[in-house]
Amino acid sequence: MLKDVTLGQFLPGVSPIHRLDPRAKILFLIALIVFIFITSNYISLALVAAFIVALVFMTRIPVKMYLKSMKMILFIVLFTGIINLFYGRGEPLVKIGFLQITEAGINNAVFVAVRIAVLILASSMLTFTTSPTDLTDALERLLKPLTVFHIKVHEIAMMMTIALRFVPTLLEETDKIMSAQKARGADMESGNLIKRIKALIPVLIPLFVSAFRRAEELATAMECRCYQGGSGRTRMKRLHFGKADLYGLAACLLVLCGVIICNIFLPATVR
Amino acid sequence: MKDFIKVENVSFRYDSNDTVNKYVLNDISLNINKGEFVALLGHNGCGKSTMAKLLNAMLLPEKGKVFVNGLDTSEPDVSYDVRKTVGLVLQNPDNQLVASIVEEDVAFGPENLGIEPDEIRRRVDEALKAVDMYEYRAHAPYKLSGGQKQRVAIAGIIAMQPQCLVLDEPTAMLDPKGRDEVMATIKKLNREKGITIVLITHYMDEAVQADRVVVMDSGKILTQGSPREVFSEVELLKRHRLDVPQATELMYRLVGMGFPAESLPLDEDECIDRLSKILK
């Protein structure tokens, strides 16, 4: 039941996107998010969306996987889209009671929906093509300058690595405990919301107890392997910006120019 | 080298203010030579896991001393060097793996030691090949079987190139197949790389494969010697509610019923051999 979570899953592959430097990928994602939000008319929005869709195809990951991760947030897309539909100003096209739909409203709705959808597409692309360890590793290296402000970057990255490592283990354990409780006659599927939440308590308590026990053992194991925090530690993987990352950078700059030109020379449809 | 690890009159208890409970380890002494394969046997709670943690300075003795390669573990600032020399593998493979990719997990130890990236790469590949998990280097640990996970955990320790490997019931949570895989790996490391092995177990069939068996009972050493010596003392072991290998047990009972046998067998092959002699 907990197995079909696609968001944040890593799908190994050998596509050009997979091979980009993870630090570059994080920066490109941030850049793309910025691009999506500075677009002010349909042409530039289409430009960014087309760029991202092209990248999606370059990952050589079945489009089905992307659609699956979109499905999870479909409700949010529709909800914000519909809310925005009624928020436009100007001449009403349709009037239902106190609600009115205007042209600006329709534009807003389309923009918001497309922006969120593209956002999810771009971030799933990052997690699909980058292993969690690469991701945390890249974050650690990108955030390294923050150690100047006494932010414990290494410790945060380590916690993320361990958390990601134990997600499948704890999911499996949850399944086991639920089966064990069901075998003893626990009823988790019927009754109202409050009743069902109460039924989860006998699952959560053993889960927490075992998580703490695991944490203690893991700490012992890490100590046995001479873990002493971030100082004096080296990494096996060397990261370097390569040619592919430069091409990526060039493509991003090109899209940025496109967006800026469109924004300047074409009338803005949303503010 | 003699006396690679030296445990001298060590007593230990977890709570030193506790006057009610007895010591977990009681004035125990043990020497382990370099390149030796020692099996530590005993009941649950006889102090064998405590012993494991004393050997790599995870715990320090209350009385007595533990020397590893000449280093006194109770001295300040030696724990790092001791742990580099004596690697400890724990029971549950799931709780020992840190990273979500096999090779990155194996790299964890060497990374902590501050080794150069190229050298880490070399060591990781070598360690994974030594435990026959090289082709799984890019896999996620949670998709592996128990025996495979435990072998990855062992690789993670030997990538630090310790001279001694202490394994605290490494097969307790595994199925028979996984147990065989792990035992084969341990023996291979001992034979081919000359790594000293201290295997803590309560499976008699595993203890038989060691050079020396040390039997512990309530914080003390009950008896020790070669597997053949130890398991011929069937009465002593039985008195302390410890088992002997099944083949030995069978022959012991037959001898008790009056069958002639020169010595007790240790495994199935020997047992078949003796039985066929009797039946002839």
Statement: residue A40 has pLDDT above 80: yes
Domain that holds residue B127: 5-244
Residues of B in contact with A234 (CB under 8 A): 110-111, 114-117, 120
The pLDDT tens digits for A187-206 are 877 778 888 888 888 899 99
pLDDT at A231: 80
| Structure-model confidence comparison of residues B257 and B150, the more confident one | B150
Answer whether residue B68 is part of any domain: yes
Task: Give the least confident one: A71-85, B67-81, B260-274.
Answer: B260-274
The pLDDT tens digits for A127-157 are 888 887 788 889 888 988 888 888 888 888 8
Residues of B in contact with A132 (CB under 8 A): 100
Residue B89: give its domain's CATH number. 3.40.50.300
The pLDDT tens digits for A212-246 are 999 999 999 999 999 988 788 888 888 888 888 88
How many CB atoms within 10 Å of residue B112? 23
Contact A225 B109 (CB under 8 A): yes
Statement: residue B107 has pLDDT above 50: yes
d(CA B132, CA B109): 19
pLDDT at A271: 59
Q: Are B264 and B252 in contact (CB under 8 A)?
A: yes
Residues of B in contact with A173 (CB under 8 A): none
CA distance A1 to chain B (A): 17
Give the residue extent of every domain in chain A. Answer: 1-130+240-271, 152-235
The pLDDT tens digits for B13-31 are 887 776 666 788 888 999 9
Contacts by residues B152-155 (CB-CB < 8 Å, ≥ 24 positions apart): B152/B93, B152/B97, B152/B102, B152/B105, B152/B106, B152/B128, B153/A221, B153/B89, B153/B90, B153/B93, B153/B96, B153/B97, B154/B89, B154/B182, B154/B185, B154/B186, B154/B189, B155/B106, B155/B124, B155/B127, B155/B128, B155/B130, B155/B131
Answer whether residue B262 is part of any domain: no
CA distance A231 to chain B (A): 9
d(CA A27, CA A22): 9
Residues of A in contact with B157 (CB under 8 A): 224-225
Handedness of CA A187, A189, A190, A193 (dihedral sign): positive
pLDDT at A12: 78
Contact A221 B83 (CB under 8 A): no
Statement: residue B156 has pLDDT above 90: yes
pLDDT at A1: 42
CA distance A200 to chain B (A): 25
B138 interfacial to chain A (CB closer than 8 Å): yes
Token representation of residue B172: 């307790």
d(CA A152, CA A147): 6
> Count of domains in chain B?
1
If you average pLDDT over every residue of chain B, what do you get? Answer: 88
ipTM comes to 0.85
